């Protein structure tokens, strides 16, 4: 699968950052970064 669009065609992405959550020195929820093309191709 080629996730790139044709040359000269605009491509847009959604970048979602979820910060990690800590309680004292324990990680409650790890951080995550999600990158998604706006046309639905992941």
pLDDT given at position 1: 57
CA distance 19 to 12: 23
* For the chain, domain boundaries: 13-37
pLDDT digits (tens, 9 = 90+) for 1-42: 566 777 777 777 889 999 999 999 999 999 999 988 776 555
Residue the block writes with tokens 């191709």: 41
**What is the pTM assigned to this prediction?**
0.52
DSSP class per residue in 1-42: ---PPPTT----EEEEEE--EEETTEEEE--EEEEEETTS--
Q: In terms of C-beta density within 10 A (0-12 exposed, 13-18 middle, 19 or more buried), how is residue 29 classed? A: exposed
pLDDT at 41: 54
């Amino acid at each position: 699968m080629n996730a790139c669009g044709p040359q000269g065609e605009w491509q847009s992405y959604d970048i979602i950052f979820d910060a990690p959550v800590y309680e004292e020195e324990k990680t409650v929820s790890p951080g995550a970064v999600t990158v998604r093309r706006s046309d639905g191709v992941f």
